[in-house]
Amino acid sequence: MSKILLSLVLSLVYISAIAQKPADQKDLIKQMCGCYEIDFQYAETFSESDDYQFHDRYSAQGLEWVFVAEEQAEEIVIQHLLIINDSTIIKHWREDWLFENRDLLVYERNFEWSKRQLTKKEAAGTWSQKVYQVDDSPRYQGHATWLTADGKQYWESTSAAPLPRREYTKRSDYNVMLRTNKHKLTDFGHVHELDNAKLIRSANKDSVLVWEKGMNTYTKVDDDRCLPAKEWWPENQRYWSDVRAVWSEVIAKKDYLNLEINLGNQKLWQRLFALSDEASIAEDYDSTLYRTQVSLIINEHLSTKPSAWVNVSSKD
């Protein structure tokens, strides 16, 4: 094949990809919703250090209701609810998917994020996945195109992130996880496959402490098994919608975000969850009142002083 013909073919493939309407790929994202048994498996695989002591493999199982909490033409908010012992509901993580989004939060370290704006070319045809903690604070964000080829459907992106919940209270030998996240649709549900690098990040460089492989397997089960979560959400959705709105306002005002997870002996998620319990039994829910309280809590956990090596400025 001549170079000219090859260039033409590649150009047509690129044009086809970016010409796709949001709805062409939105259905792929929505296919990841449903009631799932989840199997979490992680194993450290390789280290360049001869004296590194590999940590034990991690495994866990869970039952989750995954559903669309909000939807617009070019945005989907997907919420995960964890079901414990068939009755206890825990608001789990959240993922926002945005078509051709150009604004990303990039994780630095120590629960610090800075903003990055993609070019139009970088964003063309892509979906951003913005992942949030259980309290709707930021976690990591990435962007890529959903691909369909050879009978496979997947999305893959690499992003820096805080330590995972399974490790950040137990380890201090690394401070950033570089995650390559691949979401693959399957005939039984979907698989979240990860290739992680556990980084020691300093002002001058990143050093890989150890590599890790992760497989989170989502197997669809009857929706009736997630009925407790489906019944829990209507009583709690107004409050968490207000929490999302407050976070959006906070993030929009700052080029740099520094989050203090612990304040005294209280964690941010504990304070917001306690307020959620109060809101869920309020006779007359007052959105203005709860947004004000949520805003006060969140702002108490924000620092205005970035690490010395982070060259960004914040604005109010």
What distance in Å separates the CA atoms of residue 22 and residue 44, rounded to the nearest whole number?
37
- CB of 192 closer than 8 Å to CB of 182: yes
- Give me the chain's average pLDDT, please: 90
pLDDT, tens only, 268-288: 999 999 999 999 998 899 999
Q: What is the pLDDT of residue 149?
A: 86
Please choose, from the candidates 198, 193, 184, the residue with its C-alpha nearest in 3D space to the C-alpha of residue 213: 193
**CA 115 to each of CA 95, 108, 134, 258: distance values in angstroms, whole numbers, following the listed order:** 18, 10, 21, 12
Q: Tell me, what's the pLDDT at 5?
A: 52
Q: How confident is the model at residue 254 (pLDDT cuts 50, 70, 90)?
A: confident
Residue 108's pLDDT band, with cuts at 50, 70 and 90, is very high
Q: What is the pLDDT of residue 309?
A: 60
Does position 61 have pLDDT exceeding 80, yes or no?
Answer: yes
Q: Any idea where the domains of the chain sit in the sequence? A: 18-303
| Stretch 195-217: mean pLDDT | 95
Which among 256, 164, 148 is positioned nearest to 214, based on CA atoms?
164
pLDDT band at 304 (very low <50, low <70, confident <90, very high): low
pTM exceeding the 0.75 threshold for the entire prediction: yes
Q: How far apart are CA 118 and CA 116, in angstroms?
A: 6
Contact in structure between 280 and 243 (CB atoms under 8 Å): no
Tokens of 193: 């496959």
Model confidence at 10, pLDDT cuts 50, 70, 90, reads very low
**What pLDDT does 23 receive?**
65
**pLDDT value at 246 more than 60:** yes
Between CA 213 and CA 275 the distance in angstroms is 37
Contact 255, 313 (CB under 8 A): yes
Give the three-class secondary structure for 236: helix
Instruction: Report residue 19's pLDDT band, with 50, 70 and 90 as the boundaries.
Output: very low
Tokens coding 52: 């590194």
Name the band, by pLDDT with cuts 50, 70 and 90, for residue 168.
Answer: confident
**What is the per-residue pLDDT for 240?**
97
